[in-house]
Structure 1
Amino acid sequence: MELADLAVAAAMQRAGLNTWIPEGEGKWSLPLHFLPDGAGWVELMRLLPGVRLGLHRHTGEVHALNLAGGRRLNDGRLVRAGDYIHEPAGNVDWWEATGTEELIVHVVVKGEVEYLGAHQRVLQRISAANRLEDYHRHCALTGAQPQALR
Structure 2
Amino acid sequence: MTRPDAQAIPYQGPPLPSVPPDLVVANILDLESFDKRYWVPQAEGVWFRPLLFNVSQGYFVNLLRVRRSGILSRHRHTGPVAATTLKGRWHYLEHEWWAEQGSFSYEPPGDIHTLEVPDGVDETIVLFHVTGAYIYVDPLGEAIATEDVFSKLATAKEYYKSIGLEGYEQQFIR
Q: Which runs of 4+ in 1 moved over 6 A?
A: none
| Greater relative CO (CA pairs within 8 A, separation 6+) | 1
Residue equivalent to 2:143: 122
When residues 4 and 77 of structure 1 are mapped into structure 2, their CA distance, relative to the original with a 3 A threshold, is farther
Count of residues paired in the alignment: 143
Distance 1:56 1:100 in 2: 22
Residue equivalent to 2:67: 48
Residue equivalent to 1:148: 171
Residue equivalent to 1:78: 98
Q: How does 1:15-94 map to 2 (within 5 A)?
A: 18-37=37-56, 39-74=58-93, 75-94=95-114
TM-score (norm 1): 0.85
When residues 4 and 103 of structure 1 are mapped into structure 2, their CA distance, relative to the original with a 3 A threshold, is farther
Deviations 1:45-92 (A, max 9, x none): 011241322221000000000000011222132211000110011111
When residues 77 and 49 of structure 1 are mapped into structure 2, their CA distance, relative to the original with a 3 A threshold, is farther
Contact 1:62 1:109 in 2 (8 A): yes
Higher helix share goes to which structure? 1
TM-score (norm 2): 0.74
Secondary structure of the equivalent of 2:102?
Answer: coil
Highest CA radius of gyration, 1 or 2?
2
Deviations 1:95-144 (A, max 9, x none): 21123330000000000000002532110000110000011101111111
| Identity, % of aligned positions | 26
RMSD across aligned positions (CA): 2.1
Secondary structure of the equivalent of 2:64?
Answer: strand
